[in-house]
Amino acid sequence: MLALFSEHLPYTVALFLTAFVAALRIVSFLGIAALLYIWAERKVSGRMQDRLGPTRVGPYGLLQSLADGIKLMTKEDTSPDVADRFLFRIAPYLAFCAAFCGYLALPFGLYLVPQDLTIAAFFILAILSSEVFGVLLAGYASGSKWSMFGGLREAAQVVSYEVPRSLCVVVPVCVVGTLSLTDMAKQQTGAFWNWTIFHDPFTFVAFFIFFITATASCKRAPFDLAEAESELVAGFHTEYSGLRWSFFFLAEYGSMFAVSGLAAFLYLGGWHTGFLPFEPAERFGLYWGNALNATVFIAKGTLLVLVMMWMRWSLPRLRIDQVMMTCLKYFLPISCALLVGVCAWQLYVARYIGEVTRYVLAFGSLASVLLVLAGSLRSKGGAARGELAGVWAKS
């Protein structure tokens, strides 16, 4: 027995070190992404409200999030006297682990796949949904009725929005015929009109329904009733402080990028630019091809995260009854109709007008985006030409 153990010890140690390095990469990406997204959210909200956002800590205020992280690490870690200490302490880590494990099946390029699962799409959905256990435990273990209400609201919201979100995953799966994210990206190689979002009108609408329901699953405004500070004194994490409080927000920003990355694979071509007619990793070599793949994928995910921030600072918060009604009365039947519609399209319509529809949707969307950008550039003035213009340029 000892000889057998000694024979397999180097192999076991090598596996452990490989897993440790891979986990360290994911945690590092999550931490850096959270720091940058928190800074970006402050800047986005500041510009939308004619404020400056962070400017004094580091260039353009880039080190403000790092300073806040150091502050949270040095704050006292307290817990209520009536709290269940064990559950209270592990709840933030459960929430963070849910966001962390979702990245295990999220490829950043053709050869940058932590674990190439054949059911990667639903694996990510299932793992991210388990964050609700950490939220429920945080609310229950705090011994506060406000925290408990916040946890229950989150559970009701997440469980409800899982159904239309999952149906909107099935819609592109019916088109590409696989749950593997790597295979999905391979089928969207080439020009941007090959992306699944432009396949037919049903996938086009399904992308927006998926993005809205994914925003709700991340507890982002206007669906942030689980932690609505104006009604629930911060909701399920009312009693948390210091490092454990920060883990909830690491989980939130990690989930935001994870669902945005999933949306990129399902609908937006994955790591493909939409302008190269070939796979970059095969034409440019492993190093430069994977670097381009990862850059494009992170850019797409970040763009969708910025849209979530834009929605937060543009839309008013919904009441809990409106949140539930929006899901059960509107999103659920719409997603069911989209699923039936895309199946009928594949069987009876695609052979006749499939290519024409693809080009109309693709170039129509491109023209709309260009018109919006041109309009925003023309209307850029007012305060931007006034006193704040010089201050913003220096911030």
Q: Residue 1 domain-assigned?
A: no
Count: domains in the chain: 1
Provide DSSP, 295-353. HHHHHHHHHHHHHHHHHHTTSPPPPHHHHHHIIIIIIHHHHHHHHHHHHHIIIIIHHHH
- Name the residue range of residue 175's domain: 9-394
How many Cα neighbours within 13 Å face the side chain of 312?
22
8 Å CB contact between 222 and 311: yes
- 313, amino acid identity: W
Q: Residue 4 domain-assigned?
A: no
Retrieve residue 273's tokens: 């630019």
| pLDDT averaged per 10 residues in sequence order, the chain, 395 residues | 59 79 86 92 89 88 91 87 90 91 89 83 90 90 86 86 94 93 92 94 96 90 70 77 88 93 95 88 84 94 94 86 91 96 94 93 94 82 51 56
Residues present in the chain in total: 395
Q: Residue 289 domain-assigned?
A: yes
Q: Residue 354 domain-assigned?
A: yes
Q: Residue 2 domain-assigned?
A: no
Retrieve residue 132's tokens: 């609700």
Retrieve residue 128's tokens: 């991210």
pTM over 0.85: yes
Q: Alpha carbon 3 to chain centroid distance?
A: 48
Can you tell me the distance from the alpha carbon of 26 to that of 299, in angstroms, rounded to the nearest whole number?
A: 17
Can you tell me the distance from the alpha carbon of 61 to that of 54, in angstroms, rounded to the nearest whole number?
A: 5
Predicted confidence at residue 241, as pLDDT, reads 86
8 Å CB contact between 200 and 234: no
Q: Residue 130 domain-assigned?
A: yes
Q: Residue 204 domain-assigned?
A: yes
Predicted confidence at residue 385, as pLDDT, reads 47
Query: Residue written as tokens 């639903």?
Result: 122
